[in-house]
Structure 1
Amino acid sequence: MKSAYITGHGGNEVVKVGESPMPIRKPGEVLVQLRAATLNRIDLYMRDSGAGITHSLPQILGLDGSGIVLEVDDSETVLSPQQRVVIHPGIACGRCEYCQRGESVLCASIQYIGEHRDGTFADYICLPAANVFPMPETLDFAQAAALGVNHLTAWRMLFTKAQFKPWETVLIFGIGGGVSLAALQLVKLAGGRAIVTSRDPGKLQRALKMGADAAVHSEVEDVAKAVMAATDGRGVDVVIENVGQAVWTNALRSLARGGRIVTCGATSGDQPYADLRRIFIRQLQIFGSTLGSLNEYRDLLGFVARNSLRPVIDSHYSLQDIHVALDRLASGSQFGKVAIAISE
């Protein structure tokens, strides 16, 4: 089968498009013919170094994807051949204390496709049936693929970690990125108020057209002061951020008393100034979050179907153009997901 894989670590010179062995389906697994995938920051990380992630080379990239069921056990009751499906990228053990209580994303032995095992930038993939879900009928393959990482991450951050309520205000840093845009869509569909930040005024204008209630140009404005002005001096209830050190002080200063920060990334550094006095005096809460559980993915897919949510796709590329797609993501200029067409 055709795939995009890394043969080492460095730049685009280690990313190849060529033939890989066809996966062999085991009992309990589903063979999916992939139609689309989208890029995530981890694809760049795996290309650049993959440090700290146990993997072997060559390694097929790609965490999320959508496609068609080709083969499944005869005893399977939810999935059937030719059904359109989306996948959850985290393959957990199913037996540890975390899996048993429905928190598969906390499984100590979880393996992620595209990181620990071959991913979705390929014609075919085999996954446990539990990781394969019927695809929302309102979406095309690229839009559906986009749900599996960014929207699932934003869902857990908002509804599981922050316990976001419809009457609350959420500050979202770095609008234009996949998780940030997903959070904006979810907040507005749930009835909340959203304030977004970006260094790019064009992205801010697009976010306002999507329903953001206020926008802060972080290149020229003091974010915390602007947030206070937009909330009549109160601050926001929830901060969603995946930038880390560069925005941390403003994130803390923007919170109302009793507010919550949820973080899922540290692209600008992971050792911010803590400001512990502010945290305990204002009784702030800080949550770490990554991806989401199988149950949360099921809930997200139901929400998407009921509310006709459509993920924002920035651009489409063929698998053959994977280098151009990676460059697009690395540039930081995208607004939404960079999608890869796997097969027709």
Structure 2
Amino acid sequence: MDAVKFTDHGGTDVVEYGEFPDPEIGADDVLVDVKAGALNHLDVWTRRGMPGLDLEMPHVPGSDGAGVVEAVGEHVSRFEPGDRVALTAGRYCGECEYCRHGEEPQCVNYHIVGEHVRGVHSELAAIPEETLVAVPEGVDWETAAAAPLVFQTAWRMLMTRADVEPGETVLVLGASGGVGHAAVQIADYAGATVYATGGSDEKCRYAEELGAEAAINYEEDDFADEIRAITGKRGHQTTSDGPSERRRSDDGVDVVVDHVGADTWSDSLASLAKGGRLVTCGATTGHAPETNINRIFWNQLSVLGSTMATPGEIDDVLERVWDGTFEVRIRETLPMSETARAHELLENREGFGKVVVRPDSEL
């Protein structure tokens, strides 16, 4: 088979596409004929190399993908050849105290397909049964491949960790990216008033198309100043059922979704109203920002970490993707032989939504 691969960490020049040994499936594995894969910033960081990440080389990346079941291991019971499936990326040990209590994202042995182990940007992939979900007929392969990782991440951030309620206000940073464009739609679905940031006027218009009431071009304006000005004018928020119990009348939003990291951290905290919650799932611009601790304790702020989602949460959000409630935006679809270009699209923040790659044999 052909696969995307790299043998060393580095720039986009280390990314290759070519012959690779066919995968061997274990008793709990499903062999998938991959029809499409999708990229995340995780692929960029894996390619560059992260502290503590020890990969078997050559490494096949890819934490998002979808295709048709070719064969199954002897212990597999949920799928059979011909089924349409998509990868959900996260693997849990099923044995530690967190798994036994149903808190899979906190599993002490948790790891991600494509980051810690071989990924799915290849013509064939052997995938553990537990990391697959069924894809209904009628859902195109680009959508099936691009939805799971970002939508499960955004769903858990907003619906579980931040517990957003109708009538609250939510600021989503980087609304044109994968997690960002999912978070705008989910926050709007939850009944919140949504604000967003984008790096251009075009990206801001895109965020408003997805459900944001207003979007701020952070290349031109300080988004924290703009948010305080907007929310100060709005005052106490109401819903059809009356005022939200959580909404404060002071400047700022109730929830900030920050997956950017060091470059936005201070302004994210400054954008929160008293009692507000900052929820984060990543740090693409750096993981060690300076923090004004005074602001956190004086304003009674909460900082919430979030990673991926539980199987039940994945089912909840993907049901709404499959039925069209949420839209997966695809910025570009490329052959896997052009995966280096796909990495550049993410690194240069070009376009809106997800970047999809398909095996050259599928095009």
The answer, yes or no, to whether TM exceeds 0.5 is: yes
User: Which residue identity does 2:116 align to in structure 1?
Assistant: H
Aligned equivalent of 1:8: 8
| Contact 1:139 1:310 (8 Å CA) reproduced | no
- Is the partner of 1:60 in helix, strand or coil? coil
Aligned equivalent of 2:350: 333
Aligned equivalent of 1:151: 151
CA distance in 2, matches of 1:190, 1:334: 26
Consecutive unaligned residues in structure 1, runs of 5 or more: none
CA distance in 1, matches of 2:251, 2:137: 41
| Contact 2:197 2:215 (8 Å CA) reproduced | yes
| Contact 2:164 2:190 (8 Å CA) reproduced | no
Match of 1:314 among 325, 328, 331: 331
For residues 69-110 of structure 1, give each alpha carbon's deviation from its aligned partner in whole angstroms, at most 9, with x where no partner exists. Answer: 122257755323211111121222111112112222222222
Aligned equivalent of 1:86: 86
CA distance in 2, matches of 1:112, 1:225: 37
Q: Pick which of 309-318 and 245-254 moved more.
A: 245-254
| Contact 2:281 2:306 (8 Å CA) reproduced | yes
User: Which residue identity does 1:263 align to in structure 2?
Assistant: T
State the Cα distance separating 1:148 from its structure 2 match.
2.2
- For the pair 1:276 / 2:293, whether they are aligned, the reply is yes
State the Cα distance separating 1:307 from its structure 2 match.
4.9
User: Which residue identity does 2:164 align to in structure 1?
Assistant: F
CA distance in 1, matches of 2:138, 2:299: 43
Aligned equivalent of 1:22: 22
State the Cα distance separating 1:288 from its structure 2 match.
1.3
Q: For 1:1-344, list aligned pairs within 5 A.
A: 1-73=1-73, 76-231=76-231, 232=233, 233-342=250-359, 343-344=361-362
| Contact 2:36 2:66 (8 Å CA) reproduced | yes
State the Cα distance separating 1:7 from its structure 2 match.
1.0
| Contact 1:136 1:301 (8 Å CA) reproduced | no
User: Which residue identity does 1:284 align to in structure 2?
Assistant: L
For residues 134-157 of structure 1, give each alpha carbon's deviation from its aligned partner in whole angstroms, at most 9, with x where no partner exists. Answer: 114453111111122111111111
How many equivalent residue pairs? Answer: 344
| Contact 2:175 2:183 (8 Å CA) reproduced | no
User: Which residue identity does 2:358 align to in structure 1?
Assistant: A
Aligned in 2, Cα 1:14/1:267: closer, same or farther, shift over 3 Å?
A: same
Consecutive unaligned residues in structure 2, runs of 5 or more: 234-249
| Contact 1:245 1:268 (8 Å CA) reproduced | yes
CA distance in 1, matches of 2:341, 2:261: 27
Q: Pick which of 175-184 and 261-270 moved more.
A: 261-270
Aligned equivalent of 2:236: none
CA distance in 2, matches of 1:268, 1:330: 11
| Contact 1:317 1:325 (8 Å CA) reproduced | yes
CA distance in 2, matches of 1:144, 1:154: 16
Aligned equivalent of 2:237: none
CA distance in 2, matches of 1:313, 1:271: 31
User: Which residue identity does 1:244 align to in structure 2?
Assistant: G
| Contact 1:43 1:114 (8 Å CA) reproduced | yes
State the Cα distance separating 1:183 from its structure 2 match.
0.2
State the Cα distance separating 1:304 from its structure 2 match.
2.4
State the Cα distance separating 1:130 from its structure 2 match.
1.5
Identity of matched residues, %: 38
CA distance in 2, matches of 1:268, 1:75: 42
Aligned in 2, Cα 1:168/1:188: closer, same or farther, shift over 3 Å?
A: same
RMSD: 1.8
CA distance in 2, matches of 1:10, 1:4: 15
The alignment's TM-score, normalised by the length of structure 1, stands at: 0.94
